[in-house]
Amino acid sequence: MWKPDRQVKKPIYEQIADHLEQRISYGEFPPGSLLPSERKLAEQLGVNRSTVILAFAELRAMGIIESRTGSGTRVSTSKWEATPKHTPNWSRYAEGGSFLPNLPFMRKIRESLAQQPSLIDMASGELAADLAPIDEITALMGEHRYTSYLGYDNPQGYTPLREALVSHLERQRGIRTTESSILITSGSQQSLYLITQCLLSPGDAVAIEDPSYCYSLPLFQSAGLRLFRLPVDQYGARSEDIRSLYKKHRIKMVFLNPNFQNPTGSVPTAERRNQLLAAASELGLPIVEDDPFSLTAYENSPPPPLKSMDPLGSILYIGSFSKIAASGLRIGWMVAPNAIVERLADARQQMDFGLSVIPQQVAAQFLNSAYFDPHLNRLRMQLQFKRDLLIEALRKELPGLITFSVPQGGLHLWCKLVPEVHDGKLLDEAIRKGIVFVPGSVYGSESGYVRFTFARARAEEIAPGVAKFAEALRSLLNTAQ
Amino acid sequence: MWKPDRQVKKPIYEQIADHLEQRISYGEFPPGSLLPSERKLAEQLGVNRSTVILAFAELRAMGIIESRTGSGTRVSTSKWEATPKHTPNWSRYAEGGSFLPNLPFMRKIRESLAQQPSLIDMASGELAADLAPIDEITALMGEHRYTSYLGYDNPQGYTPLREALVSHLERQRGIRTTESSILITSGSQQSLYLITQCLLSPGDAVAIEDPSYCYSLPLFQSAGLRLFRLPVDQYGARSEDIRSLYKKHRIKMVFLNPNFQNPTGSVPTAERRNQLLAAASELGLPIVEDDPFSLTAYENSPPPPLKSMDPLGSILYIGSFSKIAASGLRIGWMVAPNAIVERLADARQQMDFGLSVIPQQVAAQFLNSAYFDPHLNRLRMQLQFKRDLLIEALRKELPGLITFSVPQGGLHLWCKLVPEVHDGKLLDEAIRKGIVFVPGSVYGSESGYVRFTFARARAEEIAPGVAKFAEALRSLLNTAQ
Ligand SMILES: Cc1ncc(COP(=O)(O)O)c(C=O)c1O
Ligand SMILES: Cc1ncc(COP(=O)(O)O)c(C=O)c1O
């Protein structure tokens, strides 16, 4: 990212004006298009807003841009009138298709993190650098020669990785399958995308947990699906609710994240699991089981997946390396009946021609290596340690103001705020104080909940992060009075 | 992939029956679902069809499967009746969504290649192992420590790779841009997918070259677009045709692969380029410029892209490593106005959460390394050498039966067959003789054309491949008489 150079003589505002003029001349901001706002540019470039105002004034004087109150600053069209007149109406194109943008809260969180690297990140659902097996992966990459042919991959994914997963799934998740029923995807995310795009049709009704990660994904709406809620209690979703949604709305699929559910941390009892499976097979209703967190179980052995009790093939099982190794690997997998795997592999081929072979080789080696189990053990201990740091800090900073149940696995703590506060305002205030979290409404819950991720921040940031959050909450409560 | 073990005592057909029973019990073939055909299974397992027939008979006797003439072999439902009755109607789900399957010819080619490794591959549009920079990439992976944080990536792609591309594009393609206007995608394919899904709406009219690679992609139809043809002559598509399609059908976008077009090999003259740009800017019509082949120019310097003359930002430029380095890296890029890059990055985030960081690091290092230019020089020489081998063989084996113009870059030779033959029958016959090519109709052309790729087969396979093709053609011509 270009930044002005404070060492040279040329004034900062002139550097910025030159830089913008250049980008305009490259076609990055075509005639008629909107420039980023003064505030946003100032944040991106790390300068005062007044400096950007000076730069804009310079460009305006040259006739390169024009500002109209209320509609922002645009690249001038008159300037180019002599020669060609028209540029594509890009803002219209950007509204094309049925694909909805990400939720405003999620975009705000991402932008704030990009612009303020000092923010304490209790929002991103991923592992801190020191929890990821970076050294192990580096060692594996140095040990092995990747001389195999780097051509287009098998549409279902790299065969040695699928083979490694067959034994991993049997050993660690009790799931028996063969490599021909596995599809490697770009994380769980691509599995969810493929399922919603290619197995369901616009207008189909589906059930998703409330609250759940699924609610944060506009991809269900983008696919034109009608969403119905399955309330989540301490043990997750209930089969009665599935049955009644099926009766009322003929739901065609159920999306569950049974183990250490995101965001609540719930885990079903054995009885609940059996009831869910019985409902699925009696109704002939597929359940998508999204299972990224099980292997993080802090103390007891990981809870079993529904898929381990599914001889009828009613479960589409999704796993991922994101929460147990590194999200930047982008390795996930789906285990599904053969016909479904073939259909999705064929469709995915057209979307991106398959995944890069290199991270798949790395993932296969890591799974087969002696590093894998010790890594998991270390990860579990460290997650539990960080969970405890978070809980301790919350109890200290916000006694009586916040309630939660203590999760036994996963990366998140789901909290209810005792006083009534607007979660959007709380987020803004928290960002000002230097910490981000995810407002509960992102997951479809009523107002008044927050999700803290304790995996991403460094251990020493957790207490200060909670202190900042407490400041933000208190300052909102004070102004409200 | 499981294969029967010929060393053990148990008869092959029993091994196959056990293997299938196991996969059925895992839920891979749920009750009621169709098993692969006897022929297909025999090919996959490398056994005679009669062996599969025996295995099926065994399973039938056990009540595990049932066959009905004309409707194939299915997993029995009655067997399970005691306990749960229903399994999801998976074949119905597999027909969900608007995403069309790949073309039958392309599926046949892929399956044949998977099942007969000895086939000579003159169909896959990619580089042979010895043309790809495998050693260079292995060396780079050994040299560098990939210790950086492996978290979710920047939605536009790994920043150092975008920075490396800024200088690569300026130096080798004459395109000036900044890293904030670049989106890294999974090859060109994902760029095309994002454009058709997120910038256009069902019912929109677009123009694509005839013949072209675009015709082989059901993704245009999957997005509900209306396709209009731009005939390709020796110099590619013509601006007059664009203007008249715009008048008649209000086309909203034009898809071109100007340089060394796939499949024809055409390159526009300087005049044609100017006319295309003039039409785009006068009509305010975006052109998607897919440019994977330019840097393969065998002798002269690479032809310039339209994007290098596009200050108004009418061109969405797409590049890729697939045809100049390795398709298995899955690294491509789009250069586009800022608003478009941001929109597509946001949508892509929901589809797959971005690309793996590892191949992006490798690609950035390769671009910045001293290996890159020598690799390109070697690649160009070897492609020209293989093109000449192909032409020599065709002239020798099929004098008077085939015509073509000689391409100056790219991976393909586009041939017209002089005698009339059905291209589907020719493909079947060629596969029987041991060689695959792509029938011209895949690219939207009338019957009677074939595309040979000379990059993928080993040099010593090219003459034998053409001999097999000639046999196939002659045997069809003989039976036709
Ligand atoms: C429940 C759940 N499913 C899926 C995902 C997507 O993760 P990935 O695509 O990185 O595997 C997440 C990430 O937060 C998640 O929490
Ligand atoms: C013209 C053209 N565009 C795009 C592609 C897709 O290639 P990739 O996604 O590997 O970059 C191909 C591959 O054959 C092609 O020929």
Query: What's the rounded mean pLDDT across residues B458-472?
Result: 98
Are the C-beta atoms of residues B319 and B282 closer than 8 Å to each other? no
| Ligand showing the shortest atom-to-Cα distance for residue A288 | 1
For A150, the closest of B132, B219, B351 (CB atoms) is: B132
Atom 15, ligand 1: which residue's CA is nearest? A213
Number of other residues whose CB lies within 10 A of the CB of residue A22: 14
Task: Report the C-alpha gap between B415 and B409 in whole angstroms.
Answer: 16
How many whole angstroms separate alpha carbon B303 and alpha carbon A480? Answer: 66
User: Hey, which residues does B236 pair with through a beta bridge?
Assistant: B233
Nearest to A62 by CA among A21, A9, A19: A21
Which is more confidently placed, B97 or B426? B426
Peptide linkage before B211 cis (omega within 30 of 0): yes
Of A88, A145, A150, Cβ closest to residue B329: A150
Q: How many residues does chain A have?
A: 481
Residues of chain A within CATH 1.10.10.10 domain(s) are 12-95
- Note whether B332 and B322 are within 8 A (CB): yes
> B7 to each of A450, B3, B12, B211, how far by Cα in Å?
61, 12, 10, 51
Pairing of strands B332-335, B402-404: unpaired
Q: How wide is the angle at C-alpha A31 spanned by C-alphas B228 and B244, nearest 5°?
A: 20
Q: Report whether A80 contacts A31 (CB < 8 A).
A: yes
Contact B261 CB / ligand 2 (< 6 Å)? no
Lowest mean pLDDT among A108-122, B22-36, B71-85, B405-419: B71-85
What is the predicted pLDDT for the residue at B249?
97
Please, what is the end-to-end C-alpha distance for chain A in angstroms? Answer: 43
Q: How far is B455 from chain A (nearest CA, A)?
A: 12
Instruction: Dig out the tokens for B443 from the structure.
Output: 């690219």
Q: Are strands B435-436 and A226-231 parallel, antiparallel or unpaired?
A: unpaired
Q: Do A329 and B150 touch (CB under 8 A)?
A: yes
Nearest CA in chain A to B176: A26
Residues of A in contact with B219 (CB under 8 A): 350-351
Do strands B435-436 and B120-121 pair parallel, antiparallel, or not at all (unpaired)? parallel
CATH architecture of the domain with residue range B12-95: Orthogonal Bundle (1.10)
Smallest CA-to-CA distance from B337 within A146, A89, A376, A361 is with A89
B-chain residues near A22 (CB < 8 A): 178
> What is the predicted pLDDT for the residue at B80?
59
At the topology level, CATH places domain A145-370 in: Aspartate Aminotransferase; domain 2 (3.40.640)
Residue B189 CB less than 6 A away from ligand 2: yes
- C-alpha closest to that of A57 among A2, A16, A23: A16
Which of B182, B309, B342, B352 is the best mutation test for A, with the most CBs of A within 10 A?
Answer: B352
- Token pair for B62: 């056990």
Per-residue pLDDT tens digits for A407-451: 999 999 999 999 999 989 999 999 999 999 999 999 998 889 999
Q: Where in chain A is CATH 3.40.640.10?
A: 145-370
Q: What is the largest CA-CA distance in chain B?
A: 76
Residue A311 has a pLDDT of 85
Atom index in ligand 2 nearest the CA of residue B327 equals 10
Residue to mutate among A3, A98, A99, with most B CBs inside 10 A, is A99
In chain B, ranges of CATH 3.90.1150.10 domains: 104-131+375-480
- In this prediction, the residues of chain A whose per-residue pLDDT falls under 70 are 79-85, 145-148, 480-481
- Pick B28's closest partner by Cβ from A204, A328, A337: A337
> Both tokens of residue A425?
């305002």
- φ, ψ (nearest 5 deg) of residue B450: -135, 150
Rounded Cα–Cα distance for residues A210 and A196 (Å): 18
- Asked if B355 and B186 touch (Cβ cutoff 8 Å), the reply is yes
Per-residue pLDDT band at B85 (split at 50, 70, 90): low
pLDDT digits (tens, 9 = 90+) for A103-123: 999 999 999 998 888 999 999
Among B287, B305, B284, B336, CA closest to B177: B336
- Cis link prior to B30 (omega < 30° from 0)? no
* Ligand 2 atom at minimum distance from B190 CA: 9
User: Given this model, what pLDDT does residue B140 score?
Assistant: 86
Q: Which of B193, B340, B352 sits opposite A187 (nearest CB)?
A: B352
- The phi and psi torsions of A355 (rounded to 5 degrees) equal -90, 160
Ligand 1 atom closest to B152 (CA): 10
Measure B156 CA to ligand 1 centroid, in angstroms: 19
Question: Considering only CB atoms, which chain A residues are within 8 Å of B185?
Answer: 352
Judge: A358–B354 Cβ closer than 8 Å, yes or no. Answer: no
pLDDT at residue B82, rounded to an integer: 47
3-state SS, one letter per residue, for chain A: CCCCCCCCCCCHHHHHHHHHHHHHHCCCCCCCCECCCHHHHHHHHCCCHHHHHHHHHHHHHCCCEEECCCCCEEECCHHHCCCCCCCCCHHHHCCCCCCCCCCHHHHHHHHHHHHCCCCEECCCCCCCHHHCCHHHHHHHHHHCCCCCCCCCCCCCCCHHHHHHHHHHHHHHHCCCCCHHHEEEECHHHHHHHHHHHHCCCCCCEEEEEECCHHHHCCHHHHCCCEEEEEECECCECCHHHHHHHHHHHCCCEEEECCCCCCCCCCCCCHHHHHHHHHHHHHHCCCEEEECCCHHHCCCCCCCCCHHHHCCCCCEEEEEECCCCCCHHHCCEEEECCHHHHHHHHHHHHHHHCCCCHHHHHHHHHHHHCCCHHHHHHHHHHHHHHHHHHHHHHHHHHCCCCEEECCCCCCCEEEEEECCCCCHHHHHHHHHHHCEECEEHHHHCCCCCEEEEECCCCCHHHHHHHHHHHHHHHHHHHHHHC
Residue A208: predicted pLDDT? 97
Q: Is B453 in the pocket of ligand 2 (CB under 6 A)?
A: no
Interchain proximity B359–A362, CB inside 8 Å? no
**Encoding tokens for residue B416?**
């017209």
Contacts of A285 in chain B (CB under 8 A): 88
Cβ B294 under 6 angstroms from ligand 2: no
Q: How close is the nearest chain B Cα to the Cα of A338, in Å?
A: 5
Q: Is the CB of B322 under 6 A from ligand 2?
A: yes
Whole-angstrom CA distances from B121 to A157, B102, B109, B252, B445 are 20, 19, 9, 37, 21
Q: What is the pLDDT of residues B151-189, one digit of tens each?
A: 888 999 999 999 999 999 999 999 999 999 999 999 999
Query: Residue A82: what pLDDT?
Result: 47
Instruction: Identify which of A316, A180, A176, A167 has the alpha carbon closest to the alpha carbon of residue B25.
Output: A176
Mutate to test the interface with B, among A41, A115, A126, A150 (most CBs of B within 10 A): A150
Distance from residue A154's CA to the centre of ligand 1 (Å): 24
How far is the CA of A455 from the CAs of A131, A133, A389, B78, B462, in angstroms? 8, 14, 11, 49, 55
The total number of residues shown for chain B amounts to 481
CATH number of A104-131+375-480: 3.90.1150.10
Please tell me the distance from the alpha carbon of residue B403 to that of residue B72, in angstroms, as a whole number.
Answer: 44
pLDDT band (50, 70, 90) for residue B97: confident
